[in-house]
Structure 1
Amino acid sequence: MNLNAKAIELYENNELDQALLLFKEAVRQERNVQSLHNLAWMLCYEEDDYLQAIVLLEEAIVKEPNSHFPYHLLGEIYIRIEKPDKAIPILKRGMEMLSTKEAYNNLGVAFFQAGDKANASAFFLKASGSSDYALYSHVKCLIELGSYDRAELLLDTFTREDEEFVGEVDLADLYAEINSFKKANHWYDKGWEGYFKEPYWVSRYIYCLVQAGEIEKARNIVESLIKETQLELEEGFGDECFDDWTEKEKEEEIKELKTHKIEYEKMIDAAIEGIKEPLHFEPQIQTACYLFGCKRHGNPQVKEV
């Protein structure tokens, strides 16, 4: 069993420190594509050491590997450190060898970071399933590009039965972005019991209810949340602190609850005034196992040239 295989075996057994030592030893013995790349992979995913991983991958790519692994991994890391101008060409080079769903998605993320919503939209679409986050990201780009009708048609195709369904409140949020208030309210209702209640998305729901003329329902929801928050505050003041819940943590939770209560109390007036909380959106990187020699994922050893 060579060093790479031993390192992967240790990694599979969750012996991460020993695995890292062996990956480093493999590089010390021979700086080839496989050793450089696999150490970079380990540094990226287990150490968050992106800068050192970049150095190793750039050295590996100079050797002109015949696998897409180093290119896709390096592109992903450039996205993580928000350098889309470097991520885009390196991902494209990898896709000349193999176009994957992850690479299409990550090109979408890179173009989105670069402010090119048209290209981002196109690549998210290529990566998308029927109701997943890639399609959600594609629709978000369409909205930013002003294609509301096309966006709504696609939103109407999302289904909860899909294994990768993005989520009810997330779907409602995009309907809210195109001012389709009744459809937004439909999905906020469906997600109400399953989502943790917090002012950010609740305020968007209240806004949609008010804009749809359901002010009474909006008031009832807000009043209920204010009462629930007040009850939590009263219970919080009386709770004793334990080892897993310190006095400082208790004070922070009480402070947060008080802030939430104030935000709920202002929600109806803000919605009537037409104030909508901006949508928080960040496209998601997709990844795969890029570890040369990983038997679990059927990855081959690298073919040196």
Structure 2
Amino acid sequence: MSKYDEIDFEKIALQMQEQVEKDPNNVKLRNELAIVFMETNEYEEAFFQLQAAAEIKPSVQTLYNLAYFYFTEGKPIIEATSNTKETRSFEEEAEEESISSTWEIADEEAFDLVEGLLKNKPVHYFPYNVMGEMYIKKEKYEEAINVLKEGIHLTPSLENLNNLGLCYYKKGMLPEAAECFHKAHPLRSCNNYSLFPLLSYGICLAQLGRGLEARAVAKELLLLSEKDEEALEAEIAEIYYILGDYREFVNIYSKLDWDFYSEEFLPTYFYSLWKLSKTKEIEELASKIIQRKEKEMKEVIQDPDEEEDFKAEYEEATREEIAFIKNAVREVYKGKAPIIDYKPELETRCYLYGCFRHTNSNPNYFSI
């Protein structure tokens, strides 16, 4: 249990609200109150505090935090349920009991705010990291590369180095991608223990034909995955598959509990078994999984408590899964090697200025 789990944030929120009423122009206090509201899952209240702070004193801190909230949470759509036509401020609306809200994506609002901030060359890396994520989300990898490099120049982090590697990987620049993933892994911290940068590094090494290094990374990953209880064995095994080491690939896959793995993992396993002349194992595993799926499908269809639409959708999806497995076996017997379409993971963390849970720094509240 974290030390923060023992804090009464609801009590703190009430105290801070009283302070804000006495000092409404204190944007630092509003920012802290917004973070406390997020701790109590009162995201609408948090949004209004961040919005108010940005209106009272537009600065790198206030505008960025509002942008980050837009990007990660979206924005509330306020709907008045009363008949009054008076014009109210957003704070008055937030306090009215007759107001309800739904949420919508606000990526463009976030993008516009951060883009404007970056024109002034902020000296902290958070805005650059977040803009990099925004560009990656839009699949604008060249733009992401440029902005991530600026963030790395200020402060290298697991996230910006990994995401730069992701961009290079998407552009087919494997040596550059490998270097970034390699540099990202040692920067694991309490805010991000991810093993995916190291996994991506191993995949790149394998694709570059650097077998000895790739195997060393795979062994390290298996040890770390077990230690951290990450359960990445199936993904790590892909390094061996790319290298054509089917024996080691099968050694790892044979220990997986297939009740918890998608059928999409099966083609490479079937092919590796076939390369090792273990067709009996292919037939047995395919038959076992198909029988389990047919049994589960029958149970759902016969369940009187399930909706008919759900039954129809479940049956259709299950029959597609079974057809996929049967086709995978046929393709393997033709000698067709499945290709691994590896997708590097985007890395992120909390980038909210002043977040005490993640010990994030807070820049000065000077106006832009």
Q: Same fold (TM over 0.5)?
A: yes
Q: 2:207, 2:242 within 8 Å by CA — same for their partners in 1? A: no
**Residue in 2 that maps onto 1:296:** 357
Q: What are the superposed Cα offsets for residues 126-185 of structure 1, whole Å, 9 maximum, x if unpaired?
A: 112699211111122223333344323322333243316461211223322222111011
Q: Please tell me the residue identity of whatever aligns with 2:219.
A: D
* Runs of 4+ with >6 A deviation: none
Residue 286 of structure 2 aligns with an amino acid whose one-letter code is V
2:109 is the alignment partner of 1:86: no
- 1:230 and 1:64 map into 2 onto residues whose CA distance is 59
**Distance in 2 between residues matched to 1:290 and 1:125, nearest whole Å:** 23
Superposition pairs of residues 193-232 of structure 1, within 5 angstroms:
193=258, 196-232=260-296
Of 198, 202, 227, 1:162 maps to: 227
CA distance in 2, matches of 1:65, 1:230: 58
**Distance change >3 Å, CA 239–CA 21, structure 1 → 2:** same
- CA–CA distance in structure 2, aligned partners of residues 38 and 203 of structure 1: 45
**Aligned: 1:109 with 2:136:** no
Bigger Rg over Cα: 2
Distance change (3 Å), C-alpha of 1:228 and 1:300: closer
**Compared CA separation, residues 265 and 70, structure 1 to 2 (3 A):** closer
Q: Is the 8 A contact 2:215 2:240 kept in 1?
A: yes
Question: Which residue of 1 is the match for residue 331 of structure 2?
Answer: 270
Check 1:233–1:111 CA distance in 2 against 1; reply closer, same or farther (3 A cut): same
RMSD between superposed Cα atoms in Å: 2.2
1:26 has 2:53 as partner? yes
Question: Which whole-Å CA distance do the structure 2 matches of 1:161 and 1:197 have between them?
Answer: 18
- Larger deviation, residues 206-215 vs 147-156: 147-156
In structure 2, relative to structure 1, the CA distance for the partners of 1:210 and 1:90 (3 Å cut) is: same
Q: Cα gap change, 1:262/1:94 in structure 2, threshold over 3 Å: closer, same or farther?
A: closer
Distance 1:164 1:40, change over 3 A: farther
Deviation at 1:218, TM superposition (A): 1.5
**Matches of 1:164 and 1:72, distance apart in 2:** 28
**8 A contact 1:36–1:59 mirrored in 2:** no
Task: Map residues 5-24 of structure 1 onto 2, 5 A cutoff.
Answer: 5-24=32-51
Q: TM-score if structure 2 supplies the norm length?
A: 0.75
1:122 to 171, 179, 183: 179
Match of 2:98 in 1: none
Q: Matches of 2:357 and 2:181 in 1, distance apart?
A: 28
The corresponding residue for 1:133 is: 196
Gap change, CA 1:150 and 1:295, over 3 Å in 2? closer
CA contact (8 A) 2:148 2:160 kept: yes
1:4 to 11, 15, 31: 31
Query: Is 1:87–1:110's contact at 8 Å kept on the other side of the alignment?
Result: yes
CA contact (8 A) 2:50 2:66 kept: yes
Distance 1:3 1:223 in 2: 61
User: What is the TM-score normalised by the length of structure 1?
Assistant: 0.90
Distance 1:295 1:233 in 2: 48
Q: Is the 8 A contact 1:105 1:286 kept in 2?
A: yes
Q: How many residues align?
A: 301
Q: Distance in 1 between matches of 2:47 and 2:275?
A: 56
CA distance in 2, matches of 1:89, 1:268: 45
In 2, distance between residues paired with 1:241 and 1:276?
43
* Stretches of structure 2 lacking an aligned partner (at least 5 in a row): 1-19, 21-28, 75-104, 189-193
Q: Structure 1: 5+ residue runs without aligned partners?
A: none
Alignment of 1:184 onto 2:249: yes
Alpha-carbon separation, structure 2, partners of 1:226 and 1:300: 53
Q: Which one of the candidate residues 33, 39, 53 is aligned to 2:110?
A: 53
8 A contact 1:168–1:190 mirrored in 2: no
Q: Is the 8 A contact 2:273 2:279 kept in 1?
A: yes
